[in-house]
Amino acid sequence: MSWNSRVDRVAPFRVMSLLEAAQAREAAGHDVIHLEVGEPDFATPEPVVTAGQAALAAGLTRYSPAAGLPALREAIAGHYAEHFGAEVDPRRILVTPGASGALLLASQLLVGSGDRVLMADPNYPCNRHFMALAGAEVDNVAVGPESGWQLDAELVERHWGDATRLAMLATPSNPTGHMLDASQLEAVAEAVADRSGHLLVDEIYQGLSYDLEPLSVASLSPDVFVVNSFSKYFGMTGWRLGWLLAPEAAVEPLTRLAQNVFLAAPTPAQHAALAAFTPQCREILEGRRAELGRRRDALLSGLARLGLAPSLPPQGAFYLWLDISRYSHDSQAFCQRLLEEENVAITPGVDFAVTGGERHVRIAFTTGIARLEEAVSRLERFLARQ
């Protein structure tokens, strides 16, 4: 049977099959330590859950406007003003079914057949796949410690071609956890603007930073497209809620797209998310950020003992990107053996990197320090046998 050829360009997300195998081992009675999926072990904050329950009890389950509840758009705009010094018109914010909904809208608006997109390699694979589904070609620009594992202005200038229409950044990034500071972001925005292109910034892990103050490109330019999510910092993964911040001129066509593609984001989730911006919830979230920072430091300390700590520690998100080339050049087989022999589940780098993924793995510090230390001990035993 014949399918749309664009679908063939969407690679499987290998971590999902590894997660399935890990869950099967767990069901068989093995003590599996899950460090593979980007979902911390924190429950959704209680104020959000309570607000969601109240919305359901009040019957607030009908469609919202395609761009989202006005009150939620205003709350997000207030979040930008309070924490990032960015004056954002709420009308520029479109609430979406997860950040994936925002990526879908942005990719469909900004690129088409024959266009080219610049992205850092490694990167979150779905970013590449959304662009491929829109018909664009992605130029995966290899990055490393020398550029802070980021697509910086110099790389944008070097790789921008006649058919390039868009550059996409992620800060903090998945899988490396590295960030661009304000001056670096501004330089990238200027380089893209000088070439009459568009800049799309993935800020899904915004707020989860440990060495740099959280920042948003929205405070630097009104012309940048920004994707964000309630899943990571706000702890609302299963509620499926995100947003897209767009330049004013793009709001009308994006709203038309939203009306036709998904109609609206889940209404109860939107009412629940209003509580995410309360002082009570903020206190909970900041406590979790501090805990994630402690987990990062504990994991870095353990990996340093094994000679595996990254040369450039992650500044945000909740991932470590590790070079395993001393032990393997097949990250998928490495992760499979680690699961089968030591019951530790981590993610093969081939999910994220077009170049070099076979020599890297991603570890998510999404469980408690005691479990992370146990995972390091199991990894040490495993490496001793390689």
Domains 5-43+281-384 and 46-278 are alike in CATH topology: no
CATH number of 46-278: 3.40.640.10
* Contact call for residues 193 and 223 (beta carbons, < 8 A): yes
Q: Average pLDDT in the 261-285 region?
A: 97
Coil/strand/helix, residue 154: helix
- What's residue 1's pLDDT? 64
Please tell me the distance from the alpha carbon of residue 77 to that of residue 82, in angstroms, as a whole number: 9
Residue 202, both tokens: 């993935």
* Contact call for residues 165 and 197 (beta carbons, < 8 A): yes
Share of the chain above pLDDT 90, in %: 92
CATH number of 5-43+281-384: 3.90.1150.10
- Total count of residues recorded for the chain: 386
**For residue 195, pLDDT beyond 70:** yes
**Beta pairing class for 347-348 and 360-364:** antiparallel
Please tell me the distance from the alpha carbon of residue 326 to that of residue 204, in angstroms, as a whole number: 32
Sketch the domain layout of the chain as residue ranges.
5-43+281-384, 46-278
DSSP state letter for 45? P
* Contact call for residues 203 and 217 (beta carbons, < 8 A): yes
This prediction's pTM:
0.95
- What's residue 19's pLDDT? 86
**For residue 2, pLDDT beyond 70:** no
Please tell me the distance from the alpha carbon of residue 55 to that of residue 266, in angstroms, as a whole number: 12
* pLDDT band with cut points at 50, 70 and 90 for residue 338: very high
